[in-house]
């Protein structure tokens, strides 16, 4: 029989669930402060660091879903890892496991048939076995070289049956393992960016100015002795709101922006009589092509400019970009 819906009752169940799962994590944290779990955790980290192979994660049902996430987190934070379904492992996928690997097996009961069936084979292969289970007297615990006890006092499920607090504990312990390994490997932001090239951090740390700048004929440029009207035409044609002003050798002398044009008009300057070098302001802000695109963003924000010239080691313009280019590259 269905219980009539009550918003207050639903919210209370949500609060109770979070309380139970939070308490489970706090208890796990407390156990990690002392042996045997603290020692086992440190051994697990050392074992994985010393392994020349990969971490193979396996589990059935809800533990399998958690295992997939743990494998993904490990792989993205510097520890090569992948997930193997225990049922498929019995039908050939065990061939992916080598003696150089570390096998991380997840089972709250420690008696999951599909998993316990392959554990002896994993040991025969020579792979090290880390068991993550809620029962220290289980089959998985007995076979494990290193035992990570993630037992919880109760599930959040009112029947105390559906994996809730137990899977939360597994997931948190897996995250703790990944973070400890990340720190031990000295895995930094640039390493993270290389494993996340499609993410915003990857774009910020892997995208260089040369990747987003306009180059070749798209770079606005005029000689210093050119008429101001030629500079104005160059600004209009190239659509960057500015033009570089160079000397006879192509070395950057200055820049003219659309802001400069407005200021000259306000002053009533004789534009038709001016040369570009008379209207430019010298020593503009520039950046090199090998700088990170995010550095260009910082430079433009710091000096409140919307355009930036890119110069080579001889101070010759080789590119140009504006905020729109950086927005289009999703650097900002």
Q: What is the pLDDT of residues 145-194, one digit of tens each?
A: 999 999 999 999 888 888 999 999 999 999 999 999 999 999 877 777 67
Judge contact between 103 and 208, C-beta under 8 A: no
**Per-residue model confidence (pLDDT) at position 200:** 62
**Per-residue model confidence (pLDDT) at position 197:** 62
**Per-residue model confidence (pLDDT) at position 202:** 63
pLDDT confidence bin for 235, thresholds 50/70/90 = very high
Over residues 191-211, the pLDDT tens digits come to 776 766 666 666 677 789 999
Mean pLDDT of 96-116: 96
- Rounded to an integer, what is the distance from CA 89 to the centroid of its chain? 30
Instruction: Match domain 7-186 to its CATH number in 3.40.109.10, 3.40.50.2300, 3.40.50.10490, 1.10.10.10.
Output: 3.40.50.10490
Mean pLDDT of the residues in the chain: 93
DSSP conformation letters of 234-286 = HHHHHTSSEEEEE-TTS-EEEEEEHHHHHHHHHHT--GGG-BHHHH-EES--E
**Per-residue model confidence (pLDDT) at position 158:** 87
Query: What percentage of the chain reaches a pLDDT higher than 70?
Result: 96
| Dihedral sign computed on CA atoms, order 91, 96, 101, 103 | negative
**Per-residue model confidence (pLDDT) at position 198:** 62
Both structure tokens of 245: 């002003």
Mean pLDDT of 254-283: 90
Per DSSP, what are the bridge partners of residue 106? 59, 132
**Residue 123 in this model has a pLDDT that exceeds 70:** yes
- CATH 3.10.580.10: which residues of the chain? 209-328
**Residue 116 in this model has a pLDDT that exceeds 90:** yes
The single residue listed with the structure tokens 């809800």 is 62
Fold held by 209-328: CBS-domain (3.10.580)
Integer Rg of the chain from CA: 31
Residue 9 exposed, middle or buried by CB count within 10 Å (0-12, 13-18, 19+): exposed
- CATH 3.40.50.10490: which residues of the chain? 7-186
**Per-residue model confidence (pLDDT) at position 130:** 98
pLDDT confidence bin for 271, thresholds 50/70/90 = confident
Higher pLDDT, 1 or 9: 9
Judge contact between 83 and 54, C-beta under 8 A: no
Over residues 35-50, the pLDDT tens digits come to 999 999 999 999 999 9
The single residue listed with the structure tokens 């076979």 is 143
**Per-residue model confidence (pLDDT) at position 330:** 83
């Amino acid at each position: 029989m269905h219980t009539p819906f009550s918003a207050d009752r639903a919210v209370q169940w949500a609060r109770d669930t979070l309380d139970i799962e939070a308490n489970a994590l706090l208890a796990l944290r407390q156990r990690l402060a002392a042996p045997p779990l603290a020692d086992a955790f440190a051994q697990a980290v050392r074992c994985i660091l010393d392994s020349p192979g990969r971490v193979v994660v396996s589990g059935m049902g809800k533990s399998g879903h958690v295992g997939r996430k743990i494998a993904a987190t490990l792989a993205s934070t510097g520890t090569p890892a992948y997930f193997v379904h225990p049922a498929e492992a019995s039908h050939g996928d065990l061939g992916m496991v080598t003696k150089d690997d570390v096998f991380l097996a997840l089972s709250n009961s420690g008696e999951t048939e599909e998993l316990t069936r392959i554990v002896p084979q994993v040991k025969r292969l020579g792979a090290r076995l880390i068991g993550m289970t809620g029962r220290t007297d289980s089959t998985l615990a007995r076979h494990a070289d290193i035992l990570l006890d993630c037992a919880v006092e109760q599930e959040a499920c009112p029947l105390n049956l559906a994996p809730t607090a137990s899977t939360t504990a597994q997931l948190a312990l897996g995250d703790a393992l990944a973070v400890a390994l990340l720190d031990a490997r000295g895995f930094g932001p640039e390493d993270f960016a290389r494993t996340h090239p499609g993410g915003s951090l990857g774009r910020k740390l892997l995208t260089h100015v040369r990747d987003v700048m306009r180059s070749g004929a798209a770079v606005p440029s005029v000689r210093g002795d050119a008429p101001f009207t030629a500079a104005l035409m160059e600004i209009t044609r190239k659509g960057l709101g500015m033009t570089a002003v160079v000397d006879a050798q192509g070395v950057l002398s200055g820049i003219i922006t659309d802001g400069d044009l407005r200021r000259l008009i306000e002053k009533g300057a004789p534009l038709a009589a001016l040369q570009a070098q008379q209207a430019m302001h010298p020593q503009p802000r520039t950046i090199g092509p090998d700088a990170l695109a995010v550095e260009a963003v910082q430079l433009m924000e710091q000096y409140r400019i919307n355009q930036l010239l890119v110069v080579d080691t001889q101070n010759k313009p080789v590119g140009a970009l504006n905020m729109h280019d950086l927005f289009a590259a999703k650097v900002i």
